[in-house]
Amino acid sequence: MTIRIALAFMACGAMASAQTITFDDLGPSYAGTQIPNGYAGFDWNNFYDLTGAPYTGTGYSTGVVSPGNVAFNDFGNPASFSSGTEFNLTSAYVTSAFLGSENVEVEGFNGATKIYDTTYTVTDTGPTLLDFNYNDITSVTFVPSGGGGSGEQLVFDNVTIDGAAAPGGNPIVSSAVVDGGTTSLLLGGGLLGLGFLGKKLV
């Protein structure tokens, strides 16, 4: 009985450390506003927020998970966020802003060392839930490709972070390219979908 109680408290503690970054508390933004360093405890590079609903016919609108803001990478260039302490990147909803289909390479670093590198495919028809499970990283970079130049904009919503590093969390090696459609899972009824894990490089 004592062991069961201890395990229950450990599980509650792990759940309490997770946070979902929705970008909604940044306030309305109709022209795109740069996300400031310090937001949600991270430093942000080339990430902007936008109120998505008015942009019908684009991924800015279809990519909204929690109304009303989404984030995007300006001019289709790579974007990243980082922290001075280790964190776990659990998942995020990602949509292509303008393209029917494009790829996004997601690189996870601990300091200068790249330890995860996975490429996913996303579309502009709706958000794809990407399950990363990148443990013990200090920064993550999103690199779009497949559309050419500024058209390679990605839309992000509901990024889930676990601030407590998972003990001994070595990831399972996945294939180099993951079809994002296969990781689009509905969360409901207390069921959590299992996604593809990142490729361990070291």
Residues 99-115: tens digit of each pLDDT? 999 999 999 999 999 99
- Phi, psi of 150, deg, nearest 5: -70, -15
DSSP structural state of residue 197: P
Q: What is the mean pLDDT of the chain?
A: 80
Residue 8 lies in a domain: no
Q: How confident is the model at residue 67 (pLDDT cuts 50, 70, 90)?
A: very high
pLDDT of residue 180: 52
How does strand 128-145 pair with strand 18-21? unpaired
CATH code for the domain of 78: 2.60.120.1350
Q: How confident is the model at residue 169 (pLDDT cuts 50, 70, 90)?
A: very low
Higher-confidence residue of 126 and 194: namely: 126
Q: How confident is the model at residue 146 (pLDDT cuts 50, 70, 90)?
A: confident
pLDDT of residue 30: 92
Q: How far is 63 from 70, CA to CA, in rounded Å?
A: 7
pLDDT of residue 149: 64
134: which strand partners? 89
Residue 188 lies in a domain: no
Residue 76 lies in a domain: yes
pLDDT at 137 over 70: yes
Residue 128 lies in a domain: yes
- Phi, psi of 143, deg, nearest 5: -120, 110
pLDDT at 182 over 50: no
Domain that includes residue 45, residue range: 19-183
Please list, in sequence order, all residues whose beta carbon lies within 8 angstroms of the beta carbon of residue 45, skipping any fewer than 6 positions away: 79, 80, 81, 82
Q: How far is 27 from 21, CA to CA, in rounded Å?
A: 13
- Phi, psi of 149, deg, nearest 5: 60, -140
Residue 202 lies in a domain: no
State the Cα angle at 128 between 122 and 134, rounded to 5°.
95
Element (H, E) at 101: strand 101-110
Residue 37 lies in a domain: yes
The separation between CA 69 and the C-alpha centre of its own chain, rounded to angstroms, equals 15
Split into its structural domains, the chain has a count of 1
Residue 7 lies in a domain: no
Please report, for residues 31, 47, 56, 67, 133, the alpha-carbon distance to residue 87 in angstroms, rounded to integers and kept in the order given. Answer: 31, 19, 34, 26, 10
Range scoring the smallest mean pLDDT among 17-21, 86-90, 117-121, 145-149: 145-149
Q: How confident is the model at residue 151 (pLDDT cuts 50, 70, 90)?
A: confident
pLDDT of residue 196: 29
Q: How far is 46 from 170, CA to CA, in rounded Å?
A: 29
Indicate the pTM of the whole model. 0.76
pLDDT of residue 2: 52
Residue 53 lies in a domain: yes
Q: How many Cβ atoms sit within 10 Å of the Cβ of residue 92? A: 26
